[in-house]
Amino acid sequence: MTGNPSFDLFKISEDHEALREAIRSIAEDKIAPFAAAVDEEARYPQEAHDALVASDFFAPHIPEEYDGVGADALATCIVIEEVARADASASLIPAVNKLGTMPLILGASEEVKAKYLPPVARGESTFSYGLSEREAGSDTASMKTRARQDGDDWVLNGQKSWITNAGVSEYYTVLAVTDPEGKRGSNVTAFVVEKSDEGFGFGEKERKLGIKGSPTRELHFDNVRIPGDRVVGGVGEGLKIALRTLDHTRVTIGAQAVGIAQGALDFAIGYVKERKQFGSRVADFQGIQFMLADMAMELEAARQMVYVAAAKSERGDKDLPFFGAAAKCYASDVAMKVTTDAVQLLGGSGYVKDFPVERMMRDAKITQIYEGTNQIQRVVMARQLLKG
């Protein structure tokens, strides 16, 4: 951290506000009506997918030179936030497209970018990210997946766990150890794997607490031959690229958390204004008003942190690792609290699937876990502080 406060960290422009209005309208009209069914049936939110493609919100972060719309980091966060307000599962479409392609944007050759970014920008494929393994979650450097060089190619063996949109995506950024005897952290390389590659397969869909509309599966690699021109960055640079990627994409999880919390707060406010007990609206009781005030206050603080981190992501500020971790950590903790309080405000109605807040509470939990648990976020923040 610089230690020097900045009072112009981000600015919401008229374009950003127009973007919010546009994506909110799409989310309310074409995503929210299907959210309950997507959750109940644990099916991919195809309606949301199609709506996002049609409106150019599918992968808004991809630069214009690769057929994208070139949305800045704050605009991308607004898209994810507004989709998550309607359906957290659907918000993972633009979020994971950024996660999967960010290693390419940060480190790939021009040839790799030109081949793989345009199809995602056009909505022809989602792009997933393969870093975690069963025994290498927070400790990413201990991964067991291996890539062995064979002439100009690489042969990939191993597995990846908890991969978002696995089976739906055509493309995957996959991290593998390429020098087992090399220095830990400097012996990992990133590759683009295509769904059609021989020997590449998927595990069964995970049965999850929340985000049930976003398929989560293992990736299996059995002597998968990867052409040498699909290496992302230099050999041995994979983990550094992966960690730089997370500095940027943790901000999008913060945005997702803010959106989930906003959706829950909005619904709870509407409910307590209509519900009557003891002859008065529930909203007229001071205890309820204080709950709502705290929910809104903490949510707005989380939103400001996410937007500041997004501005730092866009600029590539040196203190992004701290701010990205802080935004993700705080916003996801707030989302868990706000959604839990929303269930409480609805009473018995909050606990049943007739109303969306129980889904939002289940969906919020994962934001505290993926792209680095909140315990790991605190490790990241502490390291940045101690570095000075």
For the chain, percent of residues with pLDDT exceeding 90: 94
Cα–Cα distances (Å) from 265 to 191, 268, 272, 302, 364, in that order, read: 41, 5, 11, 14, 13
For residues 100 and 230, the answer to whether their CB atoms sit within 8 Å is no
Distance (Å, whole) CA 25 – CA 30: 8
CATH code 2.40.110.10 region(s) in the chain: 128-236
Phi, psi (rounded to 5 degrees) for 379: -60, -45
Q: Fold for domain 239-387?
A: Butyryl-CoA Dehydrogenase, subunit A; domain 3 (1.20.140)
Q: Tokens at residue 99, please?
A: 């996660």
pLDDT digits (tens, 9 = 90+) for 47-90: 999 999 999 999 999 999 999 999 999 999 999 999 999 999 99
Using pLDDT thresholds of 50, 70 and 90, give the confidence band for residue 9: low
Q: Write out the catalytic residue numbers.
A: 371
Strands (E), the chain: 127-130, 146-150, 153-164, 171-177, 188-194, 200-202, 216-227, 231-232, 276-277, 280-281
pLDDT digits (tens, 9 = 90+) for 267-321: 999 999 999 999 999 999 999 999 999 999 999 999 999 999 999 999 999 999 9
pLDDT digits (tens, 9 = 90+) for 175-214: 999 999 999 989 999 999 999 999 999 999 999 999 999 9
For residues 31 and 79, the answer to whether their CB atoms sit within 8 Å is no
Q: Tokens at residue 37, please?
A: 């069914």
Q: Tokens at residue 127, please?
A: 């792009």
For residues 171 and 192, the answer to whether their CB atoms sit within 8 Å is yes
For residues 116 and 101, the answer to whether their CB atoms sit within 8 Å is yes
pLDDT at residue number 7: 44
Of 9, 10, 16, the C-alpha closest to 75 is: 16
Which residue reads 């393969």 in tokens? Answer: 130
CATH code 1.20.140.10 region(s) in the chain: 239-387
Cα–Cα distances (Å) from 119 to 73, 115, 291, in that order, read: 20, 8, 46
- Across the range 337-361, mean pLDDT stands at 98
Q: Does domain 128-236 have CATH number 3.30.70.260?
A: no
pLDDT digits (tens, 9 = 90+) for 137-172: 888 889 999 999 999 999 999 999 999 999 999 999
The three-class DSSP label of residue 140 is helix
CATH code 1.10.540.10 region(s) in the chain: 14-126
- Across the range 260-273, mean pLDDT stands at 98
What architecture does CATH give domain 14-126?
Answer: Orthogonal Bundle (1.10)
C-alpha 363, offset from chain centre? 12
